[in-house]
Structure 1
Amino acid sequence: MQREVATTVRVKLHALTERKADLLSREYDAFQTAVQGDDANLYSATKQQASKVRKQKNPRRDTEQPVVLRNDVLGVEYDEDTVLSSWWVKIPVYDPERGRGNSIWCPAIVPEKDEPLVHEGKVRDSELVRRDDGWYVHLVVKKRYKVREKYDDVLAIDMGARWIATSVALSTRETTFYGKDVRRVREHYKQLRKSIGKAKVRQGKQVLHRIGNTESRKVDDCLHKISRTIVDDAVARNAVIAMGDLGGIREGNDKGGHFNDKLHKMPFAKLLSYIEYKAHREGIEVVLVDEAYTSQTCNRCAEKGVRNTQGRFRCPHCGLDDNADKNGATNIGKRVLGKFSKPLSNTGAVLTRPETQVIVEPENSPDAVDLTLSEGTPRV
């Protein structure tokens, strides 16, 4: 089987002439004006993207939006014989001297590890981003990868407010909690914004914008590390990754202002996308399942239990007392077994689901079979 993976490559523009730098700045500033609904001269395709951003995000005036570069007017080329740079990116801009749209070729630095991907993949709609240290193009590249069809385990991931991700290896119940660093970064910058607001710092909007960018980069770095660790674990176990569908993660979770604040600020979708593309690049499948009631159901007897405010799950029927996130992740892992044609192969554990009991034979047993992903497995 194959999966198409969209990967974002951070490409730095360098050695820009003064004119090219000015055109980029003018286009970037005009895009900020356009997303607020005001008139601005922009490259026509980029102006259309600004209108879409405005409708979809309705951004505040104190925030900056990356310039969306449509893939049919964006270009990336490689020429090893060019002295200034081997990589070049064509960026559409409005040229005030000509009074119309134009394109400029900018020398670029593509990370060495991503060069094969940019060579072989298809460039999709991307973004132009301005940072303190210069200009970047967040290049979105799609490529098809072959994923494994046989697995020995399930690595189930539950996402929530207390921990952004809790992973459980279904065969051993080994559990890992992720997200302490994300919470620490969020809380630090939340307090920093409060102190700036109380002090009424001059140029407060600019300061808050810089703080927001720094916070975003630090959180993003944490997410990359978390997703990398999860995928490496799945590769080592030859495990399919099971995750809950994000559609209902925020629904039905009104548990007070503090909890809701943490829940709604957690970057679940971004973490899911990082896990998916890293996993697919390693040949590991990610299966999304309906996670309804996984947090309320006992993973041992399948009856309804109680999740308390201390993060524990207790079942009044069989007496299970376990970490609530671990319980939810285990249920997600068991639910994904229904999407496979055969049970696990090599652990000797007993896996119980509401409908049936699956006996997992030891690896050297003549009855051992592989966990094989069915061709008809639905994707959410």
Structure 2
Amino acid sequence: MKLVVRVKLLPTPEQALALEATLHACNEAANWLSGQAYGHQVTSRARLQVMAYTALKARGLSAQPALHVLRKVADAYGTLKANLKAGNLGKPSSKRYTKATGKPISFRKDAAQPYDDRCLSWQTADRTVSLWTVTGRMKNLAFTGQDDQLAVLASHRKGESDLLYRGGQWYLIATCEIDEAEVNAHPASFLGVDMGIVNIASTSTGKRHSGRHLNRRREADRKLRSKLQKKGTKSAKRRAKRHAGKEARRARDINHKISKSIVAEAQRTAQGIALEDLGGIRERARLRKPQRVTLHSWSFRQLGTFIAYKAQRAGIPLVHVDPANTSRECSQCHHVDKRNRPSQAVFTCRSCGFVEHADLNASHNIADRGWMAWVRGAESQAPALALIA
């Protein structure tokens, strides 16, 4: 399986200037090439290489970076074509469709630039890298990261790495190939995981990852964001941008911790993991207005992805089940009635009188459905790529 490890670069001021110049030159070249591709209606990598390879080298790029720019532009137009064909940008007459096709694709000056082993080499023992820049080969560029991630990097790195500038910091994102553990073909049972707003995740063993404290923090974040947006000054916009990054990192960290706990619990008890298929939840959910903001702003998909790739790495079977009525169905007699939920936290079956915490009852239903799906052979496939942050 593929994992992505992000390491933080520690450049000197001179090295930082060279990295900045390199990133800007590559993306300026990509924007120039995108304009040529749009004007000549040429978007395949092979035809772009014939048309513009010499010109890209004349703009200060060496052979491999020029090829990476060619591929980046070709891939961007390939993705656009796929989205247009799938209808993701609306009908040809829509404003969104017209906006996407009415001008060349543009790249931010700080957009990531891919490197391969011909223009970047890792000295993992010394925690340094050597890479191509527009000012020449840069050697002894230091990097750092968590010990477990650096161990994965040293043992399993394979393929390209991306140079990235974000939030005033420089990073390299490296792809690693890790052997998958053998999947447990005979799980004792399934650990059901119910995702929600008050409790971010509740398992069928009774463990709840509460979101009350987090929700208070997020409410304060929303108020600050609204205040800064109303103010509208340059300093307010800069502060809002920095704060948005903090929110995303906090949510990512919490999702990693929750997913790690769930996978460890399943591994310890020799169980599989059953998750709700939350595709389209934004359209299906009927919530009060205050809850809508919470639902649409929390990254449930990210949490599910983290659980999936950690389970795949540990050899834990994973299934996704239909979420319909999991919160209204009695886990004992399977009677379904919306009146079974008199409040957010309480489940009381109108048929058999069974009483339990609502999230725990839902997680039991998810576990049961996961077991039935496994028996029927509906094994889920975990994503092939995920991030370690």
- Taking structure 1 as the reference length, the TM-score comes to 0.70
Paired residue for 1:255? Answer: 287
Give 3-state SS (helix, strand or coil) of 1:188's partner.
helix
2:144 matches 1:109: yes
2:46 matches 1:12: no
Q: Which amino acid aligns with 1:143?
A: I
CA RMSD across the alignment: 4.0
Paired residue for 2:102? Answer: none
Give 3-state SS (helix, strand or coil) of 1:238's partner.
coil
Which of 288, 292, 295 lines up with 2:327 in the alignment? 295
Aligned length: 324
Alpha-carbon distance in 1 for matches of 2:326, 2:202: 13
* Superposition pairs of residues 47-66 of structure 1, within 5 angstroms: 47-48=73-74
Alpha-carbon distance in 1 for matches of 2:29, 2:351: 60
2:164 matches 1:135: no
Paired residue for 1:366? Answer: none
Which of 300, 307, 311 lines up with 1:279 in the alignment? 311
* Superposition pairs of residues 170-189 of structure 1, within 5 angstroms: 174-189=206-221
Which of 196, 205, 220 lines up with 2:252 in the alignment? 220
CA pair 193-76 structure 1, distance change in 2 beyond 3 A: same
Give 3-state SS (helix, strand or coil) of 1:246's partner.
coil
Aligned-residue offset at 1:268? 0.9
Alpha-carbon distance in 2 for matches of 1:199, 1:335: 50
2:187 matches 1:151: yes
Percent of pairs with identical residues: 25
Alpha-carbon distance in 1 for matches of 2:160, 2:12: 23
1:34·1:51 contact (CA, 8 Å) conserved in 2?
A: no
CA pair 330-108 structure 1, distance change in 2 beyond 3 A: same
**Unaligned 5+ residue runs, structure 2?**
37-58, 60-65, 90-95, 97-107, 382-389
Aligned-residue offset at 1:294? 1.8
Give 3-state SS (helix, strand or coil) of 1:313's partner.
strand
Which of 307, 319, 324 lines up with 2:358 in the alignment? 324
Paired residue for 1:359? Answer: none
Q: Which amino acid aligns with 1:163?
A: N
2:199·2:208 contact (CA, 8 Å) conserved in 1?
A: no
**Unaligned 5+ residue runs, structure 1?**
59-63, 342-373
Q: Which amino acid aligns with 1:8?
A: V
Deviations 1:72-106 (A, max 9, x none): 6897644368xxx4442657x7x5x8xxxx98675
Q: Which amino acid aligns with 1:7?
A: L
2:289 matches 1:245: no
Paired residue for 2:129? Answer: 88
* Higher percent of residues as strand: 1
Paired residue for 2:379? Answer: 378
Deviations 1:195-225 (A, max 9, x none): 3234444422211111101111112111122
Give 3-state SS (helix, strand or coil) of 1:196's partner.
helix
2:23·2:110 contact (CA, 8 Å) conserved in 1?
A: no
Paired residue for 1:362? Answer: none
CA pair 240-315 structure 1, distance change in 2 beyond 3 A: same
* Superposition pairs of residues 361-372 of structure 1, within 5 angstroms: none
1:157·1:332 contact (CA, 8 Å) conserved in 2?
A: yes
Alpha-carbon distance in 1 for matches of 2:166, 2:175: 18
2:34 matches 1:45: no
Alpha-carbon distance in 2 for matches of 1:269, 1:74: 36
Paired residue for 2:349? Answer: 315
Deviations 1:244-279 (A, max 9, x none): 122143332122322221111110111112222333
Alpha-carbon distance in 2 for matches of 1:264, 1:74: 43
Paired residue for 1:370? Answer: none
CA pair 304-253 structure 1, distance change in 2 beyond 3 A: same
